[in-house]
Structure 1
Amino acid sequence: MDSMFRGQFLHTIDAKGRVSLPARFRDLVLASGDARVVLAPFPFDPCVRLYPMRSWEDYERKISELSSLDAKVLRFKRILLSGAFECEIDRPGRVLVPQKLREQANLEKEVLWAGMGDFIELWSNANFERAVSMTEDEVHELRAAMEQLRL
């Protein structure tokens, strides 16, 4: 994918689990010529990740190269791959988020799409606010970590 997903967009998810993909994100996905995406749980945060099919296939290849003999890797694979759901962006520009993923990420009415480079995260607005809020000490720790990475 040549362009990156960036920015935040508030949307509403309906009772059936359908949510509109922001136009900018939708255009980037469709520019690949493939309307298929993969929605996957993220084991470390209460959100759903959306990958364009090509990005997902690259990510899945990397994951498949990891040893399933390592119990932690196996657990990660089990959570991520068994929970992944392939869908297609429909004509109105929506994706269908399965009930299980909605429950895991606490997605109800108001949701937030967050661009994360080569994938997108879907959060409940409240969970996203908690995830990005920091204490003064956490700000200093993050600044130090970014300085070490030269960012």
Structure 2
Amino acid sequence: MFRGRYEHSIDAKGRTSLPARYRDHLAALGERRIVLTSALDPCLVAYAMPEWTAFEEKLAKLPQFDRAVQKLKRIYVSGAVECEVDDSGRILVPPTLREHASLQKEVLWAGSGKYAELWDKALWKQHFDTTEDERRDISARLAELGL
């Protein structure tokens, strides 16, 4: 599981550290790779390989001519890149993905359970800040979902 928030830097070549706890999670799975892809928000999404494979299998079972499915495949699957975790615990984020997420110097990893998100730190702050009305709307929706 990917949990917690971790701040790191990203260098000019696009290398950033994968948080140690995330590396521990991968090691428990016998993995040294993550799949990194563009998200619906201006961030990136990182999956352990087994979770990514399960996601792709579910996606393959959905109606191929459904417009939402097509759009999701174009955003998620076409942008997906396998990233090897190097001996220093870093991954290399490709330029197209850095551009999608507007990654600058400071980045933030945010755990989301089965996946993690990689944000530009300043953009995270903008998206994380919510108004009281937004919080009420979120609370109402979560109640509808039984949470």
TM-score range, shorter chain: over 0.9
Among 8, 11, 16, the residue aligned to 1:14: 11
Partner Cα separation in structure 2 for residue 144 and residue 61 of structure 1: 32
Instruction: Tell me the amino acid that sits aligned with residue 100 of structure 1.
Output: T
The 5 A counterparts of 1:2-151 are 4-42=1-39, 44-151=40-147
Q: CA deviation at 1:138?
A: 1.0
Give unpaired runs (5+ residues) of structure 2.
none
Partner Cα separation in structure 2 for residue 120 and residue 18 of structure 1: 17
Identity of aligned residues (%): 50
Partner Cα separation in structure 1 for residue 47 and residue 38 of structure 2: 11
Q: Flag the 1:75–1:139 CA change in 2: closer, same or farther, 3 A.
A: closer
Partner Cα separation in structure 2 for residue 119 and residue 72 of structure 1: 21
Partner Cα separation in structure 1 for residue 142 and residue 68 of structure 2: 27
What is the CA RMSD across the aligned residues, in angstroms?
A: 1.1
Instruction: Tell me the amino acid that sits aligned with residue 113 of structure 1.
Output: W
Q: CA deviation at 1:108?
A: 1.0
Q: Flag the 1:142–1:102 CA change in 2: closer, same or farther, 3 A.
A: same
Partner Cα separation in structure 2 for residue 63 and residue 6 of structure 1: 24
Instruction: Tell me the amino acid that sits aligned with residue 127 of structure 1.
Output: L
Instruction: Tell me the amino acid that sits aligned with residue 64 of structure 2.
Output: S
Higher mean alpha-carbon deviation, 16-25 vs 75-84, is at 75-84
Give unpaired runs (5+ residues) of structure 1.
none
Structure 2 length-normalised TM: 0.95
Instruction: Tell me the amino acid that sits aligned with residue 119 of structure 2.
Output: W
Which of structure 1's runs of 4+ aligned residues deviate more than 4 A?
Answer: none
